[in-house]
Every structure is written in structure tokens, then in C-alpha cells.
Structure 1
Amino acid sequence: MPPSWNGWALPAPRWKIHLLEREATMALSLEESRRELQERQGLGARYDALQAPHADLALARLGAAYFARKLNELSDADLALPSRVAGWSRRHVVAHVAYQARGLARLVEAARQGRGAERLEEPEAQIEEVDFGASLPAHALRYLFHHAQIHLNVEWRDLQDAGWRASIESLQGRLVPIRETPWIRARAIWQAAVQLDNGASSHHFPQALSQRLGAEAGVDALSS
């Protein structure tokens, strides 16, 4: 029962009014806050959808930045040296993660366009064999990685909530839940950084990534 004097309710203390006003302000929904930010920064900026897997996207993007840093530390001559993957040079590792980004971008694009399957717009121009990529000139190989990564990020950011709930058939005939694509990328790009064999280590992995990789390894061990 509110405090009163002679049966009349007393007005709330000023500090309490300020507290209630502050709580009301903080209670703005995430969607409203996101909309306000978009309005301030203009129509040209891109944002992930509200229902996108934000934690996995963060891991994937952080991993891409880490891989890019390790790649930039290598000279063109260094790229020809062996990686930690048997039979592969560092060039092969770079080509592999670049082509993976291309493939994931096509899956996300299919979801964005409302299609049920991945497709190649110009199949004859899409040579995505790792050996071919590894044979490219160094500047072209570096460009391949950076361009593919940017394209994947654009597709993720342009995807609306409905697209994140879709599953798309890959060129190999496998049904891929689009919501899993950021984790697929995160897992591959962080491990590829280590495979470059120029100082990257699993000790540099974010804790969330290490824990999830450990959990997956445990499940694989139990099922084998």
C-alpha cells in the first residue's frame, strides 16, 4: 500500500521518479535500438538481422581478421612453403578457405533470394579446385581470399530473419541450415590460420570457440 497522509497518497520521491524514468528508457527493445542506430548512421550501412546467430558471426569475422593478419605476415615466397596440412603448401590453405567462403556465400545468397538450392551463375568460370587456386600468382591468391571474405560478409548482412531459418541444398546435394554457416566458417578459418604454420596457435582461440570445438570433439569420440 503506498504511503499516505490523512488518506491521501503521497507523491513518489523524486529519486524514485528518476529511477523509473531510467528503467523505462533502458527498456527499449533491441529492435527499436537497432532501428534508431540505423537511422543515425544512414541507409548505406549494413547490419545483421535481429535473429541472426550473432555470437557465431562474431567468431567467424574475428577468425577471418586473424587469418588475414597471419597471411599478411607472409611474403609471396613464404606462401610456397609447406603448411601443416600434409601435401599442401600455404598456398593451398589460402585457396581452400577462399573457396569455402565463396561456397558459403552462394548458399546464403540462395536463402536471401528465396531459392532452395545453391547454383553457379557461370559454371564454366567457377573453377574452385584447390590445386588451381594454389597455382595463382601471389597477388591474385591474396585478392581471392579478401574478395571472397567480403562477399560472404555482405551476404550475411543482407540476409533477413526468414533467410536465417532456411536450409539450402548445396552443389554436393547436402542440405545446409543457413544458421550454421557462420559456425562452419568460424571453425574452418581459425583452424586454417594454424595450418599456415607461421605462429598461429589454438592457444590464441577465443574461449567460446575452444569450448565448442572441445564439445564437438567429445561428441565425435563418443559416436566413433
Structure 2
Amino acid sequence: MTNAVRTVADARAWARTGTRLVLDAVADLDEAGFSADNVLPAWTRKHLAAHVAANAEALCNLVHWAATGEQTPMYASADERAAGIARGPALSADELRSWLTASARRLAEGLDALTDEQWQHRVVTARGRTVPATELPWMRAREVCVHAVDFGTGTAFADLPDGFLTALVDEIRDRRGLADLPDGPLPEVAAWLSGRPHPLADAPELGPWL
């Protein structure tokens, strides 16, 4: 696998796909379903839904930064991020679905409004990386696409766009500093790299990513 060119248009399309998959994943969940475990350890689906919704709101802060020049970090502190996730269990299924939908719409509208110049403005991520606003759609695409699988309601890595999976594999491989990858279908390699369940035989265990 070689590094592929990833465009803003690509990332925005993948973010839309991932958002649809997330909303589909929770569309029919009742209170018991939302309170059940998901693929990620120690979280219920309510925690995961809150995390995805809060992520959209945090990225809206970076959109505001790019649009106005006012420094608005994703999260004021690690405690604020944790508090957003902790809100999940206190909300009803309908409240979580509404939060997921509204936050995703607000982010999409904010990105739509950026001018060519504003897309080039630099912002700082929660991990402290300084990036142009053109990275924001990719950051959202990763969240919604991977977490759509994490809900454990039927979406699999094989349901994600091939271009997204290639970009994801390229990024995680580089960040993990891996020279070689196990043989296998692209979705299975992506699942392995991201520390999710996979059927690859003899692949070394990796910790969770994202």
C-alpha cells in the first residue's frame, strides 16, 4: 500500500458518508440498546454517541477559529472533553440522536461557509498539532467512519469507502511507524491497524487508535 493523495473534497464526502452511517447505526436503538456495550471497552453506546456529538462541536470551535482568527481550541481542557462524554448516560435515546444530528449539521454548515482563504488558516488540534483548516474534514471523517463501526450495530470496515480506508491505513501506519503490513483485504488491515477486532491470522496485537 502506498500513500494516496487525499483531497478536501474526498474528506468531506467521507465525513458525509460516516455521518449517515452513525445516524443509521443509532436510528433504531431504544434505551436498552443505547445503554448496551459497544466495540470500545468501558463505554456504552451512550458514551460513544456523546463523544461523536461533542467531537462535532469541538471541530466547530476550530471552524470558528479559521473563520475569524479568534483562538477557540477544540476543548478548553481535558476535563471538558471528558465531561462531554460523561453526558451521554444522562441523556435519552432521542436526545442523543438529536444531539448527533444537530452537531453534525452545524459542523457541515460551518465548513460550507469557509472561504478559500479561510480554509488555509491554521488552527491547533486537541493533540497540539498545528494544521490548516483543510484538515478538519479529514479529522471528522475519521471520527464518524471508525466510530460508526464501533457502535456494533452492523456497520463494518468493509462498508466504508475504499478511498477512506486507504487514507486511514496510510495515516495510522505512518503514525505507528510500521514499515510492513500483514497481507489481507483492505478493510481487515484497517481494522487491525486501528486496534479493532479483525480476522487476520498471526497479526501482532495493536492497542486502540482513535
Which amino acid counterpart does residue 130 of structure 1 have in structure 2?
A: I
Does the CA-based 8 Å contact 2:29-2:93 persist in structure 1?
no
Does the CA-based 8 Å contact 1:116-1:167 persist in structure 2?
no
After superposition, what is the alpha-carbon deviation per residue over 1:170-194, rounded to whole angstroms, capped at 9, x for unaligned?
A: 5775534211111111011111111
Does the CA-based 8 Å contact 2:58-2:74 persist in structure 1?
no
Which residue number corresponds to residue 158 of structure 2? Answer: 203
Report the alpha carbon displacement of residue 223 of structure 1 after superposing the two structures with TM: 5.8
Which residue number corresponds to residue 147 of structure 2? Answer: 192
Q: Using the alignment, how far apart are the partners of 1:149 and 1:203 within structure 2?
A: 23
> How does the TM-score come out when normalised to structure 2?
0.72
The answer for unaligned runs of 5 or more in structure 1 is 1-51
Q: Using the alignment, how far apart are the partners of 1:129 and 1:139 within structure 2?
A: 17
Report the alpha carbon displacement of residue 143 of structure 1 after superposing the two structures with TM: 1.1
Which residue number corresponds to residue 212 of structure 1? Answer: 167
After superposition, what is the alpha-carbon deviation per residue over 1:173-221, rounded to whole angstroms, capped at 9, x for unaligned?
A: 5534211111111011111111101111001010101111121232134
Report the alpha carbon displacement of residue 144 of structure 1 after superposing the two structures with TM: 1.1
The 5 Å alignment of 1:82-101 reads: 82-101=37-56
Which amino acid counterpart does residue 197 of structure 1 have in structure 2?
A: G
Q: Using the alignment, how far apart are the partners of 2:154 and 2:125 within structure 1?
A: 34
Q: Does 1:151 align with 2:103?
A: no
Range with greater deviation from structure 2 (172-181 or 87-96): 172-181
Range with greater deviation from structure 2 (169-178 or 145-154): 169-178
Report the alpha carbon displacement of residue 115 of structure 1 after superposing the two structures with TM: 2.3
Report the alpha carbon displacement of residue 71 of structure 1 after superposing the two structures with TM: 1.1
Does the CA-based 8 Å contact 2:59-2:74 persist in structure 1?
no
Q: Using the alignment, how far apart are the partners of 2:110 and 2:142 within structure 1?
A: 19
Which residue number corresponds to residue 69 of structure 1? Answer: 24
> How does the TM-score come out when normalised to structure 1?
0.68
Q: 1:172 to 1:199 in 2, by over 3 A?
A: closer
Q: Using the alignment, how far apart are the partners of 1:119 and 1:62 within structure 2?
A: 23
Q: Using the alignment, how far apart are the partners of 2:72 and 2:83 within structure 1?
A: 18
Q: 1:151 to 1:126 in 2, by over 3 A?
A: farther
Q: Using the alignment, how far apart are the partners of 2:44 and 2:64 within structure 1?
A: 31
Q: Using the alignment, how far apart are the partners of 2:129 and 2:174 within structure 1?
A: 21
Partner of 2:177: helix, strand, or coil?
helix
Partner of 2:31: helix, strand, or coil?
coil
Q: 1:110 to 1:210 in 2, by over 3 A?
A: same
Which amino acid counterpart does residue 95 of structure 2 have in structure 1?
A: A
Which residue number corresponds to residue 177 of structure 2? Answer: 222
Range with greater deviation from structure 2 (172-181 or 160-169): 172-181
Between Structure 1 and Structure 2, how many residues are aligned? 170
Which amino acid counterpart does residue 112 of structure 2 have in structure 1?
A: R
The answer for unaligned runs of 5 or more in structure 2 is 1-6, 180-210
After superposition, what is the alpha-carbon deviation per residue over 1:29-78, rounded to whole angstroms, capped at 9, x for unaligned?
A: xxxxxxxxxxxxxxxxxxxxxxx811111111111011111110322320
Partner of 1:77: helix, strand, or coil?
helix
The structure with the largest alpha-carbon Rg is 1
Q: Percent identity?
A: 26
Q: Using the alignment, how far apart are the partners of 1:69 and 1:196 within structure 2?
A: 10
Q: Does 1:161 align with 2:116?
A: yes
Does the CA-based 8 Å contact 2:23-2:97 persist in structure 1?
no
After superposition, what is the alpha-carbon deviation per residue over 1:103-133, rounded to whole angstroms, capped at 9, x for unaligned?
A: 001110121123244388xxxx999431123
